[in-house]
Structure 1
Amino acid sequence: MTDGRRTMLALTMGDPAGIGPEITAAAWRALRVGDGPAFVVPGDAALLSAHAPVRAVSDMAEAASVFPDALPVLPVDLVRPALPGQPDSANAPAITGSIERAVRLAQAGQVAAMVTNPISKLVLKQAGFPHPGHTEYLAELCGVAGQEVMMLACPELRVVPVTVHVSLRRALDSLTTADIVRCGRTAAAALRRDFAIASPRLAVAGLNPHAGEGGVMGDEEQTIIGPAIAALRADGFAVTGPWPPDTMFTPPARARYDVALCMYHDQALIPLKTIDMAGGVNVTLGLPIVRTSPDHGTAFDIAGQGVADPSSLLAALRLADDMARNRGAA
């Protein structure tokens, strides 16, 4: 939903015992006036009212009119009052309910995109949540399970981890040529559609030190990664690699590509968070809707102390706005 100036987004509640309520209020204060995106929160009104003026709303037109003066909330009630820094799995249904409500709003075109506040995988798992995290749950809700791809983005770098929330040992065992190709195709399509990059350049990281040094330090570059690069090139994509992972994130190297395909989680996230922790954004590619998120977690250790930095959430809201506008113009 975009009126030409302000895009309406849905922002999920996240874990109510984390910093989500604080950074949500801070984001509302930063965006409530001006021509940036507006947002509605499917969440607990009592929880949010401790941090900002709140107004319960029933539709997006009402949310848009309320936004300059109060935080618009679509009520999703907690089972028990949340205490900062004390997560409670009894509230898991409200956490997942907020996510599902945001997905449905985006699918129906009532909001232009959804942004998710941080959740605790452990808290949800204790309540029987079967998914590794947000990304996989969103893919199931959207009916595209197995097609989801995680991207982390900041102004200086975009990275896609091919293997994600698994142990390093399992990541090494599960890495396949087909998965690298799938991630590359999905990333290239998203860069064109959602980032307005007409001819995206993909850089593929090696797995081993020095990208294997010709097989001396490992042969995955020859047996797994090289064939994926060849397949992507055969599809017509501009692909380079395999790059030595220890040199591909320097400023001169980053200028040569638009996204880096990385072989495992930390290979992708360490450089991005080092370059711009505050401005990093998690983006789920491969969905029929736009979804972004801050690149940090629930921060239970500082929840309720008034020191949480909303920068990454603001970056996620603004990127969702940009992506939705690019997608609408495509």
Structure 2
Amino acid sequence: MGDSRGNASSSLSFILTGFPGLEDSLYWMFILLGALYSVSILGNSLILVIIKEEQSLHQPMYYFLAMLSINDLCVNCSTLPTVLGTFCFNIREVDFDSCMAQMFFIHLFSWTESGILLAMSFDRYVAICNPLRYSALLTGSSTVKMGLAVLVRSFILILPVPLLLRRLPFCKANILHHAYCLHPDLIRLPCGDTTFNSLFGLSILVSTFGVDSLFIFLSYILILRSILTIVSQTGRSKALNTCVSHICAVLIFYIPMVGVSMIHRYGKQAPPFIHTLMSIIYLFMPPTLNPIIYSIKTKEIHKRMVKMLSRAKLC
């Protein structure tokens, strides 16, 4: 391992962690992870194809859903090499630069997903609380601009993180808790002062996940208040049903993310497999479950997906 700032990137490598005790079960891990990746990639790709081909879905709500699917596919691409290498082929070593690059993209797309979920909550807020201004506020161009703003925000915030890590000397044990590189896992390894890095990481966490989740929560308070003013029971059910898919997407994203953060900060004595299990849930649940939820709960996408699958079966 490198013992100074100058040669860290050229000689340092990290050892990734699989499930302790399951090192001999590569066959079953290959089947499980292959199934998760297949469902995620196929499901998100189908949603993108359906939104592209179905003219009735060319609306802001579905544009945001397309952004979410693209982001989930990017998350899959970020984790795929080391996850399959660790769990399926027992290849555990990753060099410094590759680890920094993977950390950059994993956190970039995680923070982008948080921003997309916030934009989707704004879409539902306007559609339910101020429907007369919906078409004026959320046009195709404004939707694209919101998506670009979310991506740029995430890029600017994550860019300093690998640069700040690179300046630190790494001289401790280089074993990571996960099958990929995450900042909370890497920040415990340097033997220099990591106070600034930790504070910077915490400030970014609060300014992205913290602020986004707060605004999502407030938007749903306003949405619920607006729904309760609807006289018709059918109208209330219909309005609430349009939010169910998004609420599920928010929960399956934020709950595992909070769990991983809590384990890193307060679960230092937890068994190693707990860290590994939480990390897999954190990065696998949203990309795998989002297309399933939206294909079941969104009537237009459900109809089109059933039609496509029926056509494929006939062929």
Shared fold, TM over 0.5: no
TM-score, L = length of structure 1: 0.27
> Structure 2-normalised TM-score?
0.28
Asked which structure has the greater CA Rg, the reply is 2
